[in-house]
Amino acid sequence: MADRHIEVSLAERGVHCTAKLLDERAPHTCATVWEALPLSGDVYHAKYARNEIYSLFPPFADREPPLENPTVTPIPGDLCYFSFAGAELGTKAYGYDADVRPGTSVVDLALFYERNNLLLNGDVGWVPGTVWGQVVEGLDAMAEACNDLWRTGAAGETLSFRRV
């Protein structure tokens, strides 16, 4: 199979990066995400994992992909896939709107932009994620925009994933 690539962008900041899908390491997750593209939603900056931005989506597959190529220590440029029951994220501490609540589930697509990340959540413990993509171009500009998002806020910003 030829390499597949996607563009990850922050619309309001006008910045994007290109990531290669890790089809050999996470084939089910890559196929699931690829079929669902394009995806776009409100962006959040992580509170616990550290140098992470992400967006939450309703489940977009008939069956959730299994945990593949797992990590609890993502590195700069990793794209990770998580699936959560709403009860895991449904407290006011997370700052989400009414779409994240007990009885629902959400898919979290995340980009890690700097080092020293640890997927340990004070409410639920270790949260392994599937690494399904790796940024191959534009990470420096994206990291600068992510730091700006951390300092100035995420309100009004959109995180998008699309095929290249």
Range of weakest confidence among 45-49, 71-75, 77-81: 45-49
Q: How many domains are there within the chain?
A: 1
pLDDT (0 to 100) of residue 66: 97
Give the CATH number, domain containing residue 149.
2.40.100.20
Residue 96: per-residue pLDDT: 64
Mean pLDDT of 88-95: 64
Bridge partners, 111 (sequence order): 53, 79
Structural domain of residue 103, as residue ranges?
Answer: 5-163
Question: How distant is the alpha carbon of residue 2 from its chain centre?
Answer: 23
Please say if the pLDDT value at position 71 is more than 80. Answer: yes
pTM: 0.93
Give Cα separations from 102 to 88, 91, 105 (angstroms): 8, 9, 8
Per-residue pLDDT, averaged over 26-36, amounts to 98
Task: Name residue 52's beta-bridge partners.
Answer: 112
